[in-house]
Amino acid sequence: MANITELPNPFTPLAFLPPALANQFEVSRYLIAATLGAYVWDIGLNLGNEYVLLFKHKVHFPTIVYFLSRAFTLAYILAGFTFAVVPVENCNAFALGCSICVVLMQTATAMLFFLRVTAVWHPSKIAYGVFSILWIAVLGASITAPVTIRAAQIGSTQQCIPTVTPGITELIVIMPLINDTAIFLAINYRILAHTIVADSLRVRLRVFFGGTGLSALSRALIQSGQHFYL
């Protein structure tokens, strides 16, 4: 084995990590970089529509929530990318900032789809109550991030890595998944139940995947929900 002084760059972050962890760390950096590129591309594709939404129509509460969701999501991805690739002096403070972005992002996005599902199910008080509870659950789960996640520098470098990620932080992923699934199913059920006349599984699948026979609004709700969920 070569002596550490013979290595061309012995003080890179990966040199201080076990091979398996170093591989996971490197893959995570590729993933966050790809995510950032995809999200910036998505913003570019939708700039025209968002300009019209912001300046050509009245700005209501759902519009504000939409732009907050977009902004907080971008902030979280940028913070995660910076945390993964940029040298940082205070890793713990930066991890806290990333965690706060998680709370804001998930809360705003969940509120956006809460507004959608309650509009589709209006005036059902049961639906309003159920999805209110799910929104609160998403908020509560996301708060576990800034409370529990900690980070530190890797070896003698200024590259950061999480050091404390308790099992409870899995709720940050699980609760939004439950909420998104419930909203996805609820919206599709409501639209299909009030649109389809023929009681046929084949017809229902054709409408679900192709939007055949639906109004423009119903088709947009189903297809945009499918895109988001996937």
Across the range 94-122, mean pLDDT stands at 95
Tell me what percent of the residues of the chain surpass a pLDDT of 70: 91
Query: Over the Cα atoms of the chain, what is R_g?
Result: 22
Sign of CA dihedral 135, 137, 143, 144: negative
Q: How confident is the model at residue 12 (pLDDT cuts 50, 70, 90)?
A: confident
| Domains of the chain by residue range | 15-169
Longest dimension (CA), the chain: 76
Across the range 211-215, mean pLDDT stands at 71
Cα separation values, 39 from 36, 82, 127, Å: 5, 15, 32
Provide the pLDDT for residue 197.
Answer: 56
pLDDT at 25 over 60: yes
Q: How confident is the model at residue 194 (pLDDT cuts 50, 70, 90)?
A: confident
**CA nearest to 176, candidates 137, 149, 144:** 137
Answer for the pair 224, 187: CB distance below 8 angstroms, yes or no: no
Report the 3 state secondary structure along the chain: CCCHHHCCCCCCHHHHCCHHHHHHHHHHHHHHHHHHHHHHHHHHHCHHHHHHHHHCCCCCHHHHHHHHHHHHHHHHHHHHHHHHHCCCCCHHHHHHHHHHHHHHHHHHHHHHHHHHHHHHCCCCHHHHHHHHHHHHHHHHHHHHHHHHCEEEECCCCCCEEEEECCHHHHHHHHHHHHHHHHHHHHHHHHHHHCCCCCCCHHHHHHHHHHCCCCCHHHHHHHHHHHHHHC
Across the range 193-213, mean pLDDT stands at 69
Quote the pTM value. 0.86
Tell me what percent of the residues of the chain surpass a pLDDT of 90: 64
Provide the pLDDT for residue 1.
Answer: 44
Provide the pLDDT for residue 8.
Answer: 67
Provide the pLDDT for residue 193.
Answer: 80
User: What dihedral angle (degrees, nearest 10) is formed by the CA atoms of 205, 185, 227, 50?
Assistant: 130
Cis geometry, peptide bond prior to residue 19 (ω within 30 degrees of 0): no
Across the range 188-195, mean pLDDT stands at 82
Q: How confident is the model at residue 4 (pLDDT cuts 50, 70, 90)?
A: low
Return the higher-pLDDT residue of 6 and 193.
193
Provide the pLDDT for residue 83.
Answer: 93
**CA nearest to 118, candidates 129, 108, 109, 107:** 129
Provide the pLDDT for residue 142.
Answer: 95
Across the range 189-207, mean pLDDT stands at 72
Return the higher-pLDDT residue of 36 and 15.
36
What mean pLDDT value characterizes the chain?
Answer: 88
Which tens digits make up the pLDDT trace of 133-190?
Answer: 999 999 999 999 999 999 999 988 889 999 888 888 899 999 999 999 999 999 988 9
Which tens digits make up the pLDDT trace of 56-85?
Answer: 999 999 999 999 999 999 999 999 999 999
